[in-house]
Amino acid sequence: MSRIRKLIPGVDSKLLIRDAAKVAPDPTRRLFLRGGASVGALAFLTGCDIVDSLSAENALRAMSRFNDRAQMWLFNPNKLAPTYPDSAITRPFPFNAYYALEDAPEIDAADYKLEVGGLIANDKPWTLDELYALPQETQITRHICVEGWSAIGKWTGVRLSEFLKRLGADTRAQYVWFQCAEGYSTTIDMATALHPQTQLTFKFDDQILPRAYGFPMKCRMPTKLGFKNPKYIIGMHVTNKDLGGYWENQGYNWHSGV
């Protein structure tokens, strides 16, 4: 208990667990009560449910009650997220944003420049051709939206850790902040930024990233909820200040339709 109390300042851990257990799926709840309803058990079971069963929605409802720090802990930045075969890819893959698809940014590839700043040595902006020349890899992972759906997709791009290296970023800094073309933004912790599956993504399902999914570039991180995966990225900052984000500033973790 002392561990979670440290992780979530100001939140009563017993209440938190009772609340979470209320919306947890039945076997989870049973194990939970039998096992002394520890936060560790909740984290473990929630993680399993998301990956292994159809109860992802229930687990998500439980998870949505956790604040950022608890999420950081549930999605272990030191572990690899599960990967899937091609046959598991969700088709069509859902589009999601705080607006309709026809209002999504339309970015001209020729004009595009990624602005980089903050605690980095090289702050020269990057063209798309320069970005495309970086070493790339592909992942098939599950995207989990706090609104209660998940989908498996295939994303190709460069590891964010590799890109940060090229920027000469101070990776002892606490955060990376992303700015998106339409005003969206999000901040991620450095451990997540350096995670091997955190990727600056240029392709979806082997095609140049479609407009729906963030052309020309998104940041894919399977260890974080969907809203932490910014699309239409135009700027990136390495910083020790938590600059928040579109949903973060509205207390998004406490708003999930529960």
* Site residues (vs ligand MTE, CB under 6 A): 94-98, 143, 145, 180, 182, 184, 212-213, 226-227, 229-232
Minimum separation from the CB atom of position 32 to ligand MTE (A) = 28
Residue whose CB is less far from ligand MTE, 124 or 255: 255
Choose one: 30-38, 110-118, 134-142, 225-233; the region binding Mo ion (CB under 5 A).
Answer: 225-233
Each as own residue / partner, the long-range contacts of residues 34-43 (CB below 8 Å, 24 or more positions apart, any chain) are: 38/1, 39/1, 39/3, 39/4, 39/13, 42/17, 43/73, 43/74
CA neighbor of 99 nearest in space, from 176, 5, 183:
183
Minimum separation from the CB atom of position 226 to Mo ion (A) = 3
Minimum separation from the CB atom of position 55 to ligand MTE (A) = 19
Which of 227, 232, 247, 252 is the binder for Mo ion (CB under 5 A)?
Answer: 227
DSSP conformational letter for 66 = S
Minimum separation from the CB atom of position 4 to ligand MTE (A) = 26
Residue whose CB is less far from Mo ion, 32 or 227: 227
192 touches 224 (CB < 8 A): yes
- Taking CB atoms, the residue at the shortest distance from ligand MTE is 226
Binding mask 155-184 for Mo ion (x = CB under 5 A): ------------------------------
CA neighbor of 244 nearest in space, from 183, 199, 195, 194:
183
Alpha-carbon distance of 202 to 163, in angstroms, equals: 13
**Residue 161 CB-density burial (10 A; 0-12 exposed, 13-18 middle, 19+ buried):** middle
Minimum separation from the CB atom of position 15 to ligand MTE (A) = 27
Structural tokens at position 168: 């000469």
Which of 11, 51, 89, 145 is the binder for Mo ion (CB under 5 A)?
Answer: 145
Q: Please, how many CA atoms are within 13 Å of residue 149, restricted to the half-sphere of its CB?
A: 7
Residues lying near Mo ion in the complex (CB under 5 A) are found at 145, 226-227
